[in-house]
Amino acid sequence: MSKSIEQLLTVLQQECDLYKDYLDLAKEKKEAVIKGDIKGLDHLTKLEQSMIVRMGKADRVRRAIIGNILLEKHVEQVENITELANLMEEPDKARVLACKDRLANLLDEIRRINQFNSELIHKALEYVEFNINLLTSNGPKGSAYGNKANEKDLNRRPNVFDAKI
């Protein structure tokens, strides 16, 4: 196994570990959104941002290593990891493809949870907007009868809030 392939396998494993941690974080975010835990959600979002920075660094390292492998193999470019693995001998090829599959599975799971979180947040925002509209509406227009059967003007019903936010 060449040094570059060994480095590639190491960085792919590091990326798997990072994405596994990110998946755990996404699951925690899901629970925070469900519970309406704003402080917890804020904390998790900050952790997520620092994790994304680390993912970016690992991605740059992986790209540099792939560049080295391409130079070693005298290939100008490849479209994806599968094409790169096809340039390798066994068992390196199998190990790289196994790492790629683990990463793909993690990314699919993250994508699914993030989509669910997005839907939850969208529903929560719709609910908040509905409540704001309900509290700021002028209520029914028209008239009603009071105790002595005289009409009362319902247009003067005060708003709970004076303006929408």
**70 lies in some domain:** yes
Closest listed residue to residue 63, CA positions, set 130, 136, 11: 11
Low-confidence winner among 6-10, 115-119, 134-138, 141-145 (lowest mean pLDDT)? 141-145
**151 lies in some domain:** no
Structural domain span for residue 120: 3-138
> Is the Cα dihedral 155, 160, 161, 165 positive or negative?
negative
Q: Is 60 exceeded by the pLDDT of residue 22?
A: yes
The whole-number pLDDT of residue 142 equals: 52
**163 lies in some domain:** no
**13 lies in some domain:** yes
**143 lies in some domain:** no
**145 lies in some domain:** no
**105 lies in some domain:** yes
Per-residue burial over 97-130, b = 16 or more CB atoms within 10 Å of its CB, e = otherwise: bebbebbeebeeebeebeeebeeeeeeeeeeeee
Closest listed residue to residue 99, CA positions, set 118, 85, 79, 113: 85
**150 lies in some domain:** no
The whole-number pLDDT of residue 2 equals: 84
Q: Is 70 exceeded by the pLDDT of residue 91?
A: yes
Q: Can you tell me which residue has the tokens 């970016």?
A: 56
Distance of CA 7 to the CA centre of its chain: 28
Tally of domains within the chain = 1
Would you list the DSSP string of 24-77?
A: HHHHHHHHHHHHT-HHHHHHHHHHHHHHHHHHHHHHHHHHHHHHHHHHHHT---
Q: What pTM, to 2 d.p., does this model score?
A: 0.72
Closest listed residue to residue 161, CA positions, set 135, 127, 133, 131: 135
Low-confidence winner among 55-69, 122-136, 151-165 (lowest mean pLDDT)? 151-165
Distance from the first to the final alpha carbon of the chain: 62
The whole-number pLDDT of residue 123 equals: 86
The CATH code of the domain that includes 123 is: 1.20.58.300
Tokens standing for 51?
A: 């994790």
